């Protein structure tokens, strides 16, 4: 069983009308999984509906508490990309759990979104990686401790520690 926690972020953004900007809508992941015929045992829990730039220390503590309290050893967290690395660092040190974080650079509701690929990739990663915290984006697995978001490149990159 994979426990999926949703927190909001771009992956869940939708237009509510033609005059509005994107806003966080309902969690996109249940529809993504159903539409893509995913049968891996899972449950989805929506923790919050926030842009990751609006997440604060209390929100990150709530995410960590939910992951710690889960009876699942394999966890997927959908999260906004702007502060995903920061939350990943907060999740470090939870023993016995494989925690994979993912999100999207474009909302799941738009045709050119990377959401479907990232979610599928993250689900696979959650099933095969050893315990630890990971970011699964852009077809790559990253360690939050040594990763940053490259805003200009719209991707994640490992930091040069040399």
Asked about 7 being catalytic, the answer comes back as no
102 a known binding residue?
A: no
State yes or no: 82 annotated in a binding site.
yes
Neighbouring CB atoms inside 10 A of 18's CB total: 5
Check the annotation: does 52 bind a ligand: yes
Q: Which neighbouring-strand residues pair with 2? A: 42, 74
Give the number of other CB atoms < 10 A from CB of residue 9. Answer: 29
Distance CA 89, CA 78 (A): 15
Pick the catalytic residue from 6, 7, 10, 98. Answer: 10
Query: Which segments are annotated as binding site?
Result: 52, 81-82
Residues noted as catalytic = 10
């Amino acid at each position: 069983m994979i426990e999926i926690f949703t927190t909001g972020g771009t992956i869940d953004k939708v237009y509510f009308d033609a005059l509005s900007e994107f806003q966080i809508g309902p969690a996109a992941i249940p529809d993504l999984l159903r539409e893509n015929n995913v049968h891996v045992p899972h449950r989805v829990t929506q923790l919050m509906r926030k842009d990751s730039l609006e997440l604060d220390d209390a929100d990150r503590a709530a995410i960590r508490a939910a992951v710690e309290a889960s009876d699942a050893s394999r966890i997927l967290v959908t999260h906004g990309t702007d502060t995903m690395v920061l939350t990943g660092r907060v999740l470090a040190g939870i023993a016995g759990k494989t925690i994979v974080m993912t999100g999207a650079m474009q909302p799941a509701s738009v045709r050119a979104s990377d959401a479907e690929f990232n979610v599928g990739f993250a689900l696979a990663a959650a099933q095969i990686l050893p315990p630890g915290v990971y970011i699964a984006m852009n077809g790559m697995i990253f360690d939050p401790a040594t990763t940053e978001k490259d805003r200009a490149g719209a991707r994640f990159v490992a930091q040069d520690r040399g």
